Structure 1
Amino acid sequence: MTEQSLTRSPVPTGFNLVLPPGWGKVDLHEEVVNESILTLVDRSIDQLPKDLPRDDVSKVRMELFKQLRKAARKASRANGMVLYLPVERVRGSVVPASFVVSEPINATGAGFHSNQVVNGVAAERGESETVTVDGSTATRIERIVPPPERSEIEFSSRRVEYILPLPGSPFPRWLAVTFSTVGDGKPDSEYSSALVDLFDAVMMTFRWSYE
């Protein structure tokens, strides 16, 4: 089980969720992000063949650290608090998926009901539905995102976002959990759908934690 604290948050003080086997997390707070990445790098390196030359291991270690650092920077720029991703290989490959928990979102502007804010976000981002997470009503949004222009990314990604209201907050606040996968290059394939199902199953384990 993995746990992450919410800085300066009212009740609840954090959350717990159960990760799939082979997944790990990167704490995106600047003072610990490199330590988190190195822990995942070590887990991945431990899976390499024991007879692999030391120079090759060093190259893999360095490249993996660069890749995870790049992913962490991207998630941090998007207001991410913690990044979850696979680090252990399945049939020789790392599963092409990840999800990010963002810093709590505060309602802005006077006169807006919390449902109006969430509905507005959902309308902008894709198909939405109401779901229950840890006994509370949440919003699930799904969409397909084309690759950015002038980027090295070839394939569209399939994204699923859960917007969870923070219970007990004196003013409207939400936690956003966003999953993304390129799957096998086809966002509507059975493989991509299976990865989405895996993320939905993870979100059903989500629980708020309290002091």
Structure 2
Amino acid sequence: MTDQSLKESPIPVGFHLVLPPGWGKINLREESINDSILALVDRSINQLPDDIPKDDISKVRMELFKQLKKAARKAEKANGLLLYLPVERIRSTVVPASFVVSEPTDGTGAGIQSDQVLGSLAAGRGNSEPVEIDGSSGIRMERVVPPPEDSETDFASRRVEYVLSMPASPLPRWLAITFSTVGDGNPDSEFSSALVDLFDAVMMTFRWSYT
């Protein structure tokens, strides 16, 4: 799936959303994924000051490629299809945030109702609330996640997940969009909250596409 292709009408064939300035996308199912990552690396490197030595730029470029490649692998292992993340710098720093669109999943079991699925998803996932976006019922869940034991960071992350039902699907299908940020190291800070608000604003631009 890309953000333009899912399936034939009347089921949505994809979706559109409006990214914040400076954000980019990596299609995790493209064979040319390295080319996509390099394009985002170049966008970021082009914002560096002109007086930085070429050797230092090469080191930054290599390190950024490794970071994006690692993020892409992690998202792909989590059944991700698309990875969105900021690549342009704000005050010389790349914002530590991203969100992943995952492979649409099928509902399990005949006769299972949407509210039962949503209730099951919400159990144990922090704060949750029902949402409706572009005609799709769904749920928004938010929680703070401690760093994994094998993580290179000691910071907890603020995570927000939207799960939306796919319109007109003959069987229940769900699309998950998951946002994560370590913010400034404090998941409850104003900065972390502002990044969550930014993601919520992006989700309000989400629209299914049918052509």
TM-score bracket, shorter-length normalisation: over 0.9
Task: State the SS of the aligned residue for 1:94.
Answer: coil
Partner residue, 1:149 = 149
How many equivalent pairs are there?
209
Partner residue, 1:43 = 43
Task: State the SS of the aligned residue for 2:91.
Answer: coil
Q: CA RMSD in A?
A: 1.5
Q: In the alignment, residue 105 of structure 2 is paired with which amino acid?
A: I
Query: 88-97 or 24-33: which moved more?
Result: 24-33
Give the unaligned 5+ runs of structure 2: none
Q: CA deviation at 1:69?
A: 0.2
Whole-angstrom distance in 2 between the partners of 1:208 and 1:13 = 8
List per-residue Cα deviations over 1:17-61 (Å, max 9, x = no partner).
000011111110141321211110110111111232222221111
Partner residue, 1:196 = 196
The 5-angstrom pairing of residues 88-103 of structure 1 reads 88-103=88-103
Among the aligned pairs, what percent are the same residue? 69
Partner residue, 2:87 = 87
Q: In the alignment, residue 170 of structure 2 is paired with which amino acid?
A: P
Partner residue, 1:104 = 104
Q: CA deviation at 1:7?
A: 4.0
Q: In the alignment, residue 3 of structure 2 is paired with which amino acid?
A: Q
Task: State the SS of the aligned residue for 2:124.
Answer: helix
Whole-angstrom distance in 1 between the partners of 2:110 and 2:137 = 23
Q: Do the aligned partners of 2:136 and 2:166 also contact (CA within 8 Å) in 1?
A: no
Q: Do the aligned partners of 2:135 and 2:167 also contact (CA within 8 Å) in 1?
A: no
Whole-angstrom distance in 1 between the partners of 2:34 and 2:168 = 33
* TM-score normalized by the length of structure 2: 0.94
Q: In the alignment, residue 61 of structure 1 is paired with which amino acid?
A: R
* TM-score normalized by the length of structure 1: 0.94
- Does the alignment pair 1:4 with 2:7? no
Whole-angstrom distance in 1 between the partners of 2:118 and 2:131 = 13
Query: 112-121 or 97-106: which moved more?
Result: 112-121
Q: CA deviation at 1:113?
A: 2.0
Give the unaligned 5+ runs of structure 1: none
Whole-angstrom distance in 1 between the partners of 2:140 and 2:150 = 30
Q: In the alignment, residue 81 of structure 2 is paired with which amino acid?
A: M
Q: In the alignment, residue 72 of structure 2 is paired with which amino acid?
A: A
